[in-house]
Amino acid sequence: MTDPEAASPPTSPQPRRVFVIGATGTIGQATARALLRRGHDVTCFVRPRAGVGGRLDNGASARLLAGATVRFGDVRDAGSLARDGIRGERFDALVSCLASRTGAPRDAWAVEHRAQVNAIAAARAAGATQAVLLSAICVQKPLLEFQKAKLAAERALVESGLAYSIVRPTAFFKSLSGQLGRLRRGKPYLLFGDGALTACKPISDDDLAAYIADCLDRDERRNRILPIGGPGDAITPRQQGERLFELLGLEPRFREVSPRVLDAIIGVLAALGRVVPALADKAEFARIGRYYATESMLVLDPHTGRYDAAATPSTGSDTLFDYYARLVRGEESAERGDHAVF
Ligand SMILES: NC(=O)c1ccc[n+]([C@@H]2O[C@H](COP(=O)([O-])OP(=O)(O)OC[C@H]3O[C@@H](n4cnc5c(N)ncnc54)[C@H](OP(=O)(O)O)[C@@H]3O)[C@@H](O)[C@H]2O)c1
Distance CA 157, CA 166 (A): 9
What confidence score (pLDDT) does residue 339 get? 43
| Residue 21 · residue 115 · CB < 8 Å | yes
Q: Tell me the helix, strand and coil percentages in the chain, rounded to 5.
A: 45, 15, 40
Give me ligand 1 centre to Cα 285, in Å.
Answer: 16
Pocket test for ligand 1, best of 95, 101, 207 (most atoms within 8 A of CB): 101
Name the closest-CA residue to atom 5, ligand 1. Answer: 171
175 lines ligand 1 (CB under 6 A): yes
Residue 299 contacts by C-beta under 8 Å, 6 or more apart in sequence? 137, 140, 227, 307, 308, 311, 312
What confidence score (pLDDT) does residue 338 get? 47
Give me ligand 1 centre to Cα 101, in Å.
Answer: 6
Pocket test for ligand 1, best of 21, 24, 84, 312 (most atoms within 8 A of CB): 24
58 closest CA partner among 31, 96, 84: 84
Calculate the CA 112 to chain-centre distance.
Answer: 12
95 lines ligand 1 (CB under 6 A): no
DSSP conformational letter for 188: P
Atom of ligand 1 nearest to the CA of 205: 16
Q: What is the pLDDT of residues 110-138, one digit of tens each?
A: 999 999 999 999 999 999 999 999 999 99
100 lines ligand 1 (CB under 6 A): yes
| Residue 169 · residue 212 · CB < 8 Å | no
Torsion, Cα of 151, 96, 93, 148 (10° steps): 10
26 lines ligand 1 (CB under 6 A): yes
28 lines ligand 1 (CB under 6 A): yes
103 lines ligand 1 (CB under 6 A): no
HEC letters along 77-123: CHHHHHHHHHCCCCCCEEEECCCCCCCCHHHHHHHHHHHHHHHHHHH
339 lines ligand 1 (CB under 6 A): no
76 lines ligand 1 (CB under 6 A): yes
Burial per residue of 118-146, b for 16 or more beta-carbon CB atoms within 10 angstroms, e otherwise? bbbebbbebebebbbbbbbbbbbeeebbb
What is the three-class DSSP state of 189?
Answer: strand
Distance CA 20, CA 212 (A): 12
Task: Catalogue the E-assigned strands of the chain.
Answer: 17-21, 41-46, 69-72, 93-96, 130-134, 163-169, 189-192, 224-228, 254-257, 299-300, 307-308
pTM of the model: 0.95
| Residue 227 · residue 136 · CB < 8 Å | no
What confidence score (pLDDT) does residue 340 get? 43
111 lines ligand 1 (CB under 6 A): yes
141 lines ligand 1 (CB under 6 A): no
173 lines ligand 1 (CB under 6 A): no
Q: Is the dihedral of CA 67, 70, 75, 80 positive or negative?
A: negative
- Report mean pLDDT in 10-residue bins for the chain, 342 residues: 57 97 98 98 98 96 98 98 98 98 95 98 98 98 97 98 98 96 96 96 98 98 98 98 98 95 91 91 92 96 96 98 97 67 38
237 lines ligand 1 (CB under 6 A): no
Distance CA 299, CA 306 (A): 8
Name the closest-CA residue to atom 20, ligand 1. Answer: 101
101 lines ligand 1 (CB under 6 A): yes
What confidence score (pLDDT) does residue 334 get? 77
Strand-strand pairing, 307-308 and 299-300: antiparallel
